[in-house]
């Protein structure tokens, strides 16, 4: 295919003929013209723009699934660019050191520096060798591209082939010329060629200076070595002359012999060749280091795309037209994918993309499901899938999902035209001593009397004393309202309101967990706005600022001390009302770890899991932004690191402190990004059975995130990393698996009941009330809960019921995953009733399991042998990998086995392993 050549192969002419014919029939249609060369190159349009009979009907189509994709696939399967870079850098250091070592050794053993002619011959020789290789590659490229893309073949490969061939020949000539010069000098490298001068000197028939300078002039060796002849440089004159004579005659015994004349023997030449080879390798290493740095950068992709087709988007040129990117995609959400998305967004490129294998990053081209589907001929049942996937990628592209934090390349889109609001209390005090600091701030605000809203337990155990003491010390009076209970109710709010008026308090200080804070928020807002707290249900219903509220936190979970949420149970309706109002954000949020030390294990665990739920739900929320993402991820890190210690050793101030920071960070995340279906559903369980909020969340978190992961698996990469699995790389399936396992493990480790099952002996009494028959009603209410609106995918009612059911039925899987699979395998192998085969199967199983254990890291995947990667894929339920696993296990694992394998064994082992793994 050519462009603008006006012959039968002219794609431009063909496109114009076809386009004009279509436009003659319907001038309103857009004509899509594919780029050349696998649809990747539009460069010729610069010179020969397409001309249609109707203006503004041209759209270019481009693809990219070769250059970057192949490079990315290679880097995914063999070495990542980071690894290439690391290795090339090491190679560069070693090679450079060897170069220097060679030069130093050469100098130390007193060998002469090579003559220019020798060097020139060497450089030209090596240069001609490499230009010959590159010329060969160019001609091969020309031959190959001539079959598919004659434009590039003729315009790039052929000229380069010719230029390189000419260079190669010129270098050969240069080398030969330099070699001849060298030979000529070599033959004159002794005194014999200047007999007259030597003779003059030897017979003393010459004055000193003249003889010496003559000798220097005519004898390059003497010139080169005179400085090394002892005494020569020091004492010109007679002594020098005698040395010169000695040099010429070769006899003067009391002086050390002058250095050997540099004879260019084979050894020296070989050494030089080795040095040149090392120098060439060093150059190649430099190129590799630079390229591996560039290879997966956005800059490089932009440069290539702009050069090849992106230029067509620039306004005002005869060739300017929109570009529609048709085929692009990748098996993993790697740098290629992110860079392409960024490019599409940055250059406003249109796109269409419809992978049908369920993996968003992959396209049919390289996937096992194969094949493309076109809009005009979708196969039955595929329309909705196409629509869904295209919507998904549109969202991805617009940055609607929360990829900003781990996708380095693009930003979240602002919802609407008013930007994103980030909600925070105006002042927050954290760390040891924060309570004392807060009281000083209240004093500075001029407040006189506090209504302390707390619960009876905290008063009874004396915890509230920590607050009353510092208030008294600061001269601030107070009244205590301790009628608040876990999951505060409308009537408790009303009682508190009555008291604040009776006691004439001028501010509210909540002391406790989420319940006192919510109760205090409700009291403080109704105190100034009047009316019933029920009227505040919904978003931003207040009209007046609330009373000053200082929220002193004694649990580390809800974030209620700093959020704009207030959850009050309406006893009549058995519903937890969500009051979302920026005016209920506490004036001062106080997190002093010392006030948290008294929390019992179960409360620490439940509140900690609540905080984890906030972080995860905020992270996958559809309205998250880079600020909330950053808070959420760091909260996850802190919780996964410190919650177990805080539970096991409640007096550990560091763990308490870190958990306080974590819950605060999680609060910062969900206060602006909101939550999801875990909370939407947990609120119903809390409202109906008065179950602890954190426990409900912890039990629902796994099933709901498993559901979410089907829609936003990529978001689980950073979640898995934050929860401690830094090695998941870019494998989103693995990340989902690891994240879900981490949630489950943490929940089990801190002693949260495993499920909502009523017979569960370790469960709280209230669980006995939970009935499967209630699930439809609970699901109905959950679907009305505002928290669910930002869930990454909206479930149907049946799906919500199924999620409650899943939380009810959760498996007791204390058994380690690998151990469980091993058990399955051994059972399968045992069924074979063949001791030898069993042994082999177990050995094979060990390989698979070991590889599974080791290969959780993408880096490790690259480093390990490829078949192990594939056998890991087997366990990851990937049909493509399974096929390859069998293939590779056949040829590699079985061959490597310490047990003797015969081909007859394969089907048996395959069957055993297959049935054990469910294939
Ligand atoms: N407003 C929000 O943003 C928000 C967010 C999540 C949850 N919530 C609400 O928060 C409430 C749950 O709050 P919570 O989990 O913090 O518990 P909580 O406030 O309901 O307290 C639970 C129990 O723990 C005790 N307790 C609290 N601190 C203690 C300490 N330091 N030492 C010993 N005992 C202590 C309390 O006396 C109480 O008996 C629920 O009503 C939930 O709906 C609100
Ligand atoms: Fe919560």
**Mean pLDDT along residues 468-473:** 93
Angstrom distance (rounded) from CA 175 to CA 336: 44
The predicted pLDDT at position 388 comes to 55
**253 contact partners, CB below 8 Å, separation of at least 6:** none
Residue of 525 and 194 predicted with greater confidence: 525
Using the structure block, give the residue that is written with the tokens 């498993």: 706
Ligand 1 probe mutation, 465, 512, 521, most atoms within 8 A of CB: 512
CB 241 within 8 A of CB 214: no
Cα(472) to ligand 1 centroid in Å equals 25
pLDDT at 166: 95
Neighbouring residues of 840: CB distance < 8 A, sequence distance ≥ 6: 897, 899, 901, 905, 909
Strands of 31-34's sheet in order across: 31-34, 58-64, 323-328, 350-351
Q: Which of the residue ranges 416-420, 487-491, 913-917 would you say has the lowest mean pLDDT?
A: 913-917
For the segment 456-475, the average pLDDT, to the nearest whole number, is 92
pLDDT, residue 764, reads 61
Between 55 and 191, name the one with better pLDDT. 55
Whether 707 has a pLDDT exceeding 60, the answer reads yes
* Ligand 1 atom nearest to 454, measured from its CA: 37
**Ligand number nearest to the C-alpha of 668:** 1
CA of 559 to the centre of ligand 2 (A): 8
Sorted by sequence, the CB contacts under 8 Å of residue 526 that are 6+ apart come out as 493, 497, 532, 533, 536
Atom of ligand 1 nearest to the CA of 670: 3
**Contact of 489 with 514, CB cutoff 8 Å:** no
Query: Is pLDDT at 165 greater than 80 in this prediction?
Result: yes
Q: What distance in angstroms lies between residue 412's CA and the mean position of ligand 2's atoms? A: 25
Q: Are 467 and 488 in contact (CB under 8 A)?
A: no
Angle of helix 601-620 relative to helix 626-648, nearest 10 degrees, comes to 160
Lowest mean pLDDT, pick from 191-195, 637-641, 678-682: 191-195
- Measured over the CA atoms of residue 457, residue 460, residue 462 and residue 465, the dihedral's sign is positive
Worst-scoring range by mean pLDDT, 360-364, 386-390, 603-607, 781-785? 360-364
Task: For the beta carbon of residue 764, count every other beta carbon within 10 angstroms.
Answer: 16
Shortest-distance atom of ligand 1 to CA 457? 37
> Distance from the CA of 670 to the center of ligand 2, in angstroms?
9
What is the spatial distance between Cα 176 and Cα 172, in angstroms, rounded to a whole number? 6
pLDDT at 476: 94
Residue nearest to atom 33 of ligand 1 (CA): 599
pLDDT tier, 86 (very low <50, low <70, confident <90, very high otherwise):
confident
Q: Poorest-confidence range of 667-671, 733-737, 861-865?
A: 861-865
Task: Report the C-alpha gap between 739 and 636 in whole angstroms.
Answer: 11
Mean pLDDT for the stretch of residues 882-902:
39
Provide the Cα torsion 466, 471, 473, 476; round to 10°: -160
Who has greater pLDDT, 138 or 107? 138
CB-ligand 1 contact for 868 (6 Å cutoff): no
CA distance 329 to 325: 11
Measure the CA–CA gap between 567 and 516, rounded to whole angstroms: 11
Average pLDDT over residues 523-551: 92
In the chain, what's the furthest Cα-to-Cα distance? Answer: 131
Could you tell me the distance, in angstroms and rounded to a whole number, from the CA of residue 735 to the centre of ligand 2? 24
Residue 170 has pLDDT above 90, yes or no: yes
Instruction: Tell me the pLDDT tens digit for each residue of 779-831.
Output: 998 888 888 888 988 999 999 999 998 888 776 554 444 444 445 445 544 44
Question: Per-residue DSSP letters for 125-164?
Answer: HHHHHHHHHHHHHHHHHHHHHHHH-HHHIIIIIHHHHHHH
Residue 361 has pLDDT above 50, yes or no: no
How confident is the model at residue 678, as a pLDDT?
A: 96
DSSP structure class, residue 890: I
Q: Closest ligand 1 atom, CA of 610? A: 6
**Cα(693) to centroid(ligand 1), Å:** 8
Closest-CA residue to 401 (of 720, 703, 716): 716
Place of tokens 């440069």: 303
What pLDDT score does 172 carry? 92
CA distance 22 to 20: 5
Choose the weakest-confidence range: 67-76, 255-264, 722-731, 853-862: 853-862
For the chain, the average pLDDT equals 75
Question: 636 C-alpha to center of ligand 2: Å?
Answer: 14
Confidence band (pLDDT; 50, 70, 90) for 132?
A: very high
Give the tokens for residue 583: 């005016």
Share of the chain above pLDDT 90, in %: 34
Query: 599: Cβ below 6 Å to ligand 1?
Result: yes
Residue nearest to atom 23 of ligand 1 (CA): 486
Query: In angstroms, rounded to a whole number, what is the distance separating the alpha carbons of residues 779 and 785?
Result: 10
Taking the C-alpha atoms of 862, 865, 866 and 870 in order, what is their torsion angle to the nearest 10 degrees?
-100
Residue 913 contacts residue 888 (beta carbons within 8 Å): no
Q: Which residues contact 283 (CB under 8 A, 6 or more apart)?
A: none
Q: Which of 603, 666, 673, 685 to mutate to test the pocket of ligand 1 (most atoms within 8 A of CB)?
A: 603
Ligand 1 atom with the smallest distance to the CA of 607 is 15
Dihedral (CA of 615, 617, 619, 623) sign = negative
Are the C-beta atoms of residues 576 and 687 closer than 8 Å to each other? yes
Query: What pLDDT does 811 receive?
Result: 63
Residue 707: how many other CB atoms lie within 10 Å: 20
Say which range, 285-289, 440-444, 472-476, 846-850, has the weakest mean pLDDT.
846-850
Terminal Cα-to-Cα distance of the chain (whole angstroms): 47
When mean pLDDT is compared across 400-414, 453-467, 480-494, 733-747, the lowest value belongs to 400-414
Between 111 and 903, whose confidence is greater? 111
Q: How far apart are CA 612 and CA 384, in angstroms?
A: 34
Phi, psi torsion values for 458, nearest 5 degrees: -65, -30
- What is the distance in A from the centroid of ligand 2 to the CA of 616? 11
């Amino acid at each position: 295919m050519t462009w603008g050549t006006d012959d039968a192969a002219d794609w431009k002419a063909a496109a114009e003929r076809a386009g004009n014919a279509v436009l003659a029939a319907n001038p309103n249609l857009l004509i899509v013209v594919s780029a050349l060369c696998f649809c990747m190159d539009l460069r010729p349009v610069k010179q020969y723009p397409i001309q249609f009979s109707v203006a503004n009907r041209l759209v270019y189509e481009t693809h990219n699934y070769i250059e970057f994709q192949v490079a990315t696939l290679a880097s995914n399967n063999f070495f990542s660019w980071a690894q290439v870079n690391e290795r090339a850098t090491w190679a560069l250091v070693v090679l450079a050191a060897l170069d220097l070592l060679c030069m130093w050794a050469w100098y130390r053993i007193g060998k002469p520096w090579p003559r220019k002619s020798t060097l020139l011959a060497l450089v030209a020789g090596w240069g001609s060798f490499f230009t010959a290789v590159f010329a060969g590659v160019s001609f091969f490229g020309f031959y190959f591209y001539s079959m598919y893309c004659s434009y590039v073949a003729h315009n790039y490969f052929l000229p380069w082939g010719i230029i390189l061939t000419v260079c190669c020949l010129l270098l050969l000539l240069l080398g030969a010329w330099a070699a001849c010069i060298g030979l000529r000098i070599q033959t004159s490298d002794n005194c014999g060629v200047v007999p007259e001068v030597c003779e003059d000197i030897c017979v003393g028939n010459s004055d000193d200076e003249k003889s010496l300078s003559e000798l220097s002039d005519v004898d390059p060796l003497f010139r080169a070595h005179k400085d090394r002849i002892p005494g020569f440089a020091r004492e010109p004159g007679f002594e020098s002359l005698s040395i010169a004579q000695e040099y010429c005659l070769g006899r003067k015994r009391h002086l050390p012999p002058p250095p050997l004349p540099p004879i260019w023997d084979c050894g020296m030449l070989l050494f030089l060749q080795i040095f040149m080879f090392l120098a060439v390798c060093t150059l190649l290493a430099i190129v590799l280091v630079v390229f591996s740095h560039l290879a997966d950068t956005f800059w490089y992709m932009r440069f290539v795309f702009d050069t090849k087709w992106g230029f067509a988007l620039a306004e005002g040129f005869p060739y300017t037209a929109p570009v529609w990117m048709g085929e692009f995609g990748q098996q993993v959400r790697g740098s290629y994918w992110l860079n392409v998305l960024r490019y599409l967004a940055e250059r406003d490129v249109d796109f269409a993309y419809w992978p049908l294998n369920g993996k968003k990053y992959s396209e049919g081209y390289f996937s096992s499901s194969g094949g493309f589907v076109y809009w005009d001929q979708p196969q039955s049942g595929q329309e909705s899938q196409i629509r869904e996937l295209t919507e998904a990628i549109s969202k991805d592209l617009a940055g609607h999902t929360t990829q900003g934090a781990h996708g380095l390349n693009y930003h979240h889109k602002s919802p609407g035209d008013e930007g994103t609001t980030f909600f925070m209390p105006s002042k927050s005090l954290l760390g040891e001593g924060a309570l004392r600091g807060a009281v000083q701030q209240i004093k500075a605000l001029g407040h006189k009397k506090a209504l302390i809203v707390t619960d009876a337990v905290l008063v009874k155990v004396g915890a509230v004393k920590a607050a009353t003491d510092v208030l008294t010390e600061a001269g601030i009076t107070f009244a205590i309202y301790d009628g608040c209970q876990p999951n505060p109710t409308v009537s408790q709010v009303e009682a508190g309101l009555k008291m604040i008026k009776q006691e004439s308090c001028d501010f509210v200080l909540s002391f406790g967990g989420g319940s006192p804070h919510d109760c205090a928020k409700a009291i403080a807002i109704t105190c100034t706005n009047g009316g019933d707290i029920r009227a505040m249900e919904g978003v931003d219903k207040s009209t007046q600022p609330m009373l000053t509220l200082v929220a002193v936190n004694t649990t580390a979970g809800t974030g209620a001390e700093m959020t704009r949420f207030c959850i009050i149970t309406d006893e009549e309706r058995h519903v937890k009302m969500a009051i979302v109002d920026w005016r209920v954000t506490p004036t001062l949020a106080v997190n002093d770890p010392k006030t948290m030390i008294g929390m019992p294990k179960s409360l620490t665990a439940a509140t900690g899991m609540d905080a984890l739920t906030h972080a995860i739900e905020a992270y996958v929320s559809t309205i998250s932004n880079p600020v909330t993402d950053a808070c959420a991820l760091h909260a996850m890190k802190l919780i996964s690191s410190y919650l177990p210690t805080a539970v096991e050793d409640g007096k550990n101030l560091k763990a308490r402190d870190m958990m306080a920071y974590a819950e605060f960070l999680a609060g910062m995340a969900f206060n602006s990004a909101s939550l999801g279906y875990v909370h939407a559903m947990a609120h119903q369980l809390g409202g109906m059975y008065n179950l602890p909020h954190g426990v409900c969340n912890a039990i629902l978190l796994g099933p709901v995130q498993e559901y979410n992961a089907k829609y936003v698996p990529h978001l689980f990469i950073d979640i898995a990393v934050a929860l401690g699995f830094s090695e998941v790389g870019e494998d989103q399936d693995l990340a989902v698996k690891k994240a879900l396992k981490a949630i489950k493990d943490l929940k089990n480790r801190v002693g949260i009941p495993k499920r909502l099952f009523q017979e569960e002996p370790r469960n709280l009494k209230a669980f006995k009330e939970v009935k499967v028959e209630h699930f439809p009603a609970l699901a109905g209410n959950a679907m009305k809960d505002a928290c669910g609106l930002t869930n990454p995918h909206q479930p149907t009612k049946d799906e919500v019921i199924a999620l409650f059911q899943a939380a009810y039925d959760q498996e007791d899987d204390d058994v380690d995953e690998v151990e469980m699979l091993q058990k399955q395998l051994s059972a399968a192998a045992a069924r074979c009733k063949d001791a030898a085969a069993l042994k082999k199967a177990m050995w094979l199983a060990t390989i698979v399991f070991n590889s599974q254990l080791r290969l959780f890291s993408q880096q490790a995947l690259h480093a390990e042998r490829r078949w192990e990667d594939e056998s890991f894929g087997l366990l990851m339920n990937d049909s493509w990998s399974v096929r390859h696993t069998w293939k590779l296990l056949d040829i590699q694992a079985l061959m490597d086995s310490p047990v003797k394998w015969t081909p007859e064994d394969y089907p048996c082992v395959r069957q055993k392993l297959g049935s054990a793994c469910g294939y």
